[in-house]
Every structure is written in C-alpha cells, then in structure tokens.
Amino acid sequence: MVDFNKRVFWHFTLKDILSIISSVAIPIALAIYTTIMSQQQKQQAEKKQQFDFEQSRELRQQTLYDEFLNNIYKLDKDGYLNDTRNPWAFANAYYRAAHRQWDTTRKADVIEFLKEKQLIGRNNCSGGCRTTNLDDIIRLNELSFDNIRLASDTGVLNKLNLQCILFDQLSMSNGEFSSVNLNGASFDGARLDKVKFDGSSLVCVSFNGANLAGAHFSNSDLSGAKITEDQINQASFHNVTMPNGKKSENTSSTTTKQPIAQTTTTIKTEMSTTSSSTTIITASSTEETSLSTLSTTTTTPSIATYAVGRGSISVAVADVNIDSKPDIVTANTDSNTISVLLNAGNGTFSLQVTYSVGSVPSSVVVADVNTDSKPDIVSANLVSNTVSVLLNRGNGTFAPQITYVVGAAPHSVAVADVNNDNKPDIVTANQNSHTVSVLLNIGNATFSPQITYAVGADPRSVAVVDMNSDNKLDIITANTKSNTSSILLNTGNGTFSSQTTYTVGGNPWSVAVIDVNSDNKPDIVTANENSNTVSVLLQC
C-alpha cells in the first residue's frame, strides 16, 4: 500500500496546479507572440521594401522614357531627323542605348511613338503592300523585344497602325500582336517563336528566314504574305485568311493537316422579318485541291489532272477559241497568273498557257467585254486592289492585262450589263473596304473609274441578277463578318440604291441567286462557313 502521508508532494490544490501552468505557459505564449509579431513586421518591411523598389523602378523607367521623348523632339525640332540633314547614326545609337534599359511596356510604347513620328514604317502601305522604298530613320534590327505586347486601345474597333515597319533580324519570342495593322511589314530573319497574332491584318507581310516555331495566328489576314510551307507547318492557324486568299483550316503545328469531312446543313428561311420556316438536310463533302476532269460513264469514275499555276483558287469554263469546245481558265493566287487550258477534244485539254495579272488573283470570269464575239478574261486581284482585263486576240490567246483600280481587297468579280447599253460592266466585292465597285463599260473594252457602294462587313462574293423584275440588274453580296446578304437595287443608268440587308448563317462565303421554288422570282442562297450551313432566302 502507498503511504500517502509520506508522499506529501502529491497534495496539490487546483490553485497550485493553475499557478504552475501559468508560470510555464505565459512565457511560452509571450515568446510565440513576440515571434509572430516580429515575423509580421519583417514581412511588412519586406513588402514596403519591394513596393519602394517597384516604385523606384517604375519612376526610373518613366524618367528614361520621358528623357528619350524629349530628346527626340529636340532632334526633330532642330531638323536632325529629316532626309536632308540625315544624322541618323546618332539618333540610332541613342535609341539602342535607351532600348536596353526599358521594360517591355516602354519598348512597346516607344514603337508606337516612333511610328506616329514617322521615324519607322515610313513607306506607303495604305493599299496593303509596300509601294515606296524609304529607309527607316530608327532601326529596330538585332534588338530584343521578347515578351512585348502590342495592342489597339480600342480592340477590333480601330487597329493599331504599325504598317510597313521593318522588324527584321530582331527577337520577339513570346510576343503578342492584338488588333494590329501590320500590312507591308517585314519580319525577315526575325525570331518569332511562340509569338501570337490575333485579330490583326498582315497583308503582304514578309517572313523570309523568320523562325515561326510555335507561333499562333488567329482571326487574322495573311493575304499575299511571303511565308514558306515549312514556316506554315511550324505555326498554327485559326480562322485566318492565308496568303492564297483561302480560309485556313484550324491547324496546329503539332498535328498533320488532312482533308476534313464536313457536314452541311441546309437552312430555308423566308425573306421576311416576321416569319420563317426551317428544313434541315445533311450531306458530307471533302476539299478538292487539284484541277481534275471527271467521267461518270462508268461505275468507277476516271480522273485526269492538269497542271496549272500555283495556288489556283478560282475556275471558269467557256469556249475561248470559238471551236464549240469549252476550255478551262483558272486564277492562280501564288503565281499571280491566269492559266488557260484549251479543249483538245474527247474531254482532254492542252498544256496551260499562263498570263500575268495583278497580285493574288482571287476570282476569274470569262465574258466578251468588247462585243467582238470572243470571250475575254477578267480577274479580281486581292492584294493589288485592281481588276485585270485580258482581251481575246482570237484562237484562244490573250493580250497583256489592262488594270483598273477598285476597292480594297477585291475578293469576287462579276461581269454584266448593269446600265442596259449592251456593253458588259464590271462589279467587284471588296473585302477590306466593305464595298462593291461598279466600273461601267464606255466602249472599246475600256471602263470608267469605279463607283463604290457600301455593303456589309467583309463581302466575299457578288452576284448580279434582276431581283425585282424591272429589267435592270441588281447587286447581291455575301458579307462574311456581318453574317448578312446585301441587296442593292438598280435605280437606272447603272446606279444603285443603298443596301438592304438580310441575316444569314455564320460567315457567308459565297452567294448564288436563282428561282428555287418556281414562282418566277429569284431567291438567294448563301454558303456559310462557320455555321456549316446554307441559307435559302425565298423572295416574298
């Protein structure tokens, strides 16, 4: 048994226990509190130090930026930045020294400033391609612009103007261009790995020798751009107008491009604002990339393939040498030519004969424009903003082109007599200016200067048909960005009323006009790329 009388140290009152605990716990708690407070004060001090450092760095960046602008203004005011004095070496040395001290934000701001002051991008690129050959006063080559971001302040409303700037031999890894107009710019020899171009215009841009590994292009226009097949394979593209004028498939640099089977849905819509009915039919189609003739007399069709120019995108078939055999004419975007293949009989064709036209011909029509009973050739040239007329000399040979100016980026051309004078006129749908151009035939195969009419955004296709049965031909367009079809009624003498628009499917790329319900009134059919549909608008 335990002798409790001898174990007197076991006799503690509650007060004694609490006293012991408090004597131990309070110092520990104080130590913990002191440690925590010290840590918090340290963190606060570090945050303040970091804040002060960032403020100091920001102030230094702004000071460097302001000093550069002030000195450039002084040089400009004193006439040292013009073509007559030409002391550009000092200005370039000063810029390059300052550039190495700026962060990416200031580097982007300075590029915009230099462009505004016409110290870079001095050439004329208003039509897309460079038409002059002026040296930049400030040179950007061999500098680093990694991680830079150049973007419009208003997004798609107004693109940031960086046209014609020479970005040659610089590094712009992980850079970004958002809603930027880069028409006519040059990235020759530049390092552009993982750079992003979104919502930007890159018409006639040059990428000679540029590294585009992992680059991504989206919602942009590369019409007429100088880019190789290897570079295209390095990059990825989404909703991009490619150099040949075609719309890109959604491609990735890590996958192999293959023809895509598509499902087409036919949507029938009454041309009325109050009611509509819908019928859905499905079918599949695959993209064909070669010029072929097809025989259907046997169970296994035979295909004969004929070489034409590079990037053939549009084809017309007509008897051009008056031998009662239809011949083939193609528009070749990459080689800037027209190919003519004469029918040799039995469904075979001769080797192509090519004729030069404007830059990136995107559409071709064969029609007798000088009423000599010999079909002539008319092409719409996307990048040079012209139409080419090639008169038939007889025997299926053609004279050199005669060019006429039209709106920006003519994507489609039609030839028809719009003023009832028995002379066919020319109508183009102009993608970038959102207009149609009408060139009246004044005789002897010459045409008047264009008259333009506004239509929906980004018209890609045009048709000329008498819509209201008044014996005057009207104009109908498919407008890809506004998802509409425009109708311009002929008011007489080849003039047209303001457009009336009708909503169709997503990204209408092509339009046809024909009476589909046998009521003697022409209806409208559009092929809609993004919604994978066709829209049928029945005339009421």
**340-353 pLDDT, tens digit each:** 999 998 889 999 99
Q: What is the pLDDT of residues 458-471, one digit of tens each?
A: 999 999 999 999 99
Of the residues 225, 248, 271, the one at which a domain ends: 248
Q: Does residue 373 lie within any of the structural domains?
A: no
> Number of folded domains in the chain?
2
What is the three-class DSSP state of 130? coil
Q: Does residue 25 lie within any of the structural domains?
A: no
Contacts of 479 (CB under 8 A, 6+ apart): 434, 455, 456, 457, 458, 459, 460, 485, 486, 501, 508
Tell me the CATH number at 183: 2.160.20
Q: Does residue 358 lie within any of the structural domains?
A: no
In angstroms, what CA-CA distances link 14 with 18, 34, 344? 6, 29, 119
Q: Does residue 399 lie within any of the structural domains?
A: no
CB 398, CB 391: distance < 8 Å: yes
Instruction: Give the pLDDT band of residue 445 (cuts 50, 70, 90).
Output: confident
Tell me the CATH number at 416: 2.130.10.10
Structure-model confidence comparison of residues 176 and 37, the more confident one = 176
CB 120, CB 140: distance < 8 Å: yes
Q: Does residue 235 lie within any of the structural domains?
A: yes
Selection from 19-33, 122-136, 210-224 with the highest mean pLDDT = 210-224
Nearest CA to 381 out of 407, 347, 399 is that of 407
Q: Does residue 381 lie within any of the structural domains?
A: no
The pLDDT of residue 274 is 33
Please, what's the largest Cα pairwise distance for the chain?
Answer: 140
Q: Does residue 419 lie within any of the structural domains?
A: yes
Question: Would you mind telling me the total number of residues written for the chain in this entry?
Answer: 540
| Cα distance between residue 437 and residue 448, in whole Å | 11
| Cα distance between residue 187 and residue 202, in whole Å | 11
Of the residues 219, 248, 277, the one at which a domain ends: 248
- pTM to 2 decimals? 0.51
CB 328, CB 334: distance < 8 Å: no
E-only strand ranges, 406-468 = 410-416, 425-430, 435-439, 441-443, 446-447, 451-454, 459-465
Q: What is the pLDDT of residues 379-424, one digit of tens each?
A: 999 989 999 999 999 888 999 999 999 999 999 999 999 999 999 9
Instruction: Give the pLDDT band of residue 528 (cuts 50, 70, 90).
Output: very high
Q: Does residue 494 lie within any of the structural domains?
A: yes
Q: What is the pLDDT of residues 84-112, one digit of tens each?
A: 555 566 677 778 778 878 888 888 888 88
Q: Which domain holds residue 510?
A: 406-537
Of the residues 230, 248, 266, the one at which a domain ends: 248
| Cα distance between residue 494 and residue 436, in whole Å | 13
User: In 10 A of CB 72, how many CB atoms?
Assistant: 22
Element (H, E) at 29: helix 14-77
The residue to which tokens 């009419």 are assigned: 453
Token pair in block for residue 415: 């030839």
Token pair in block for residue 282: 């499905």
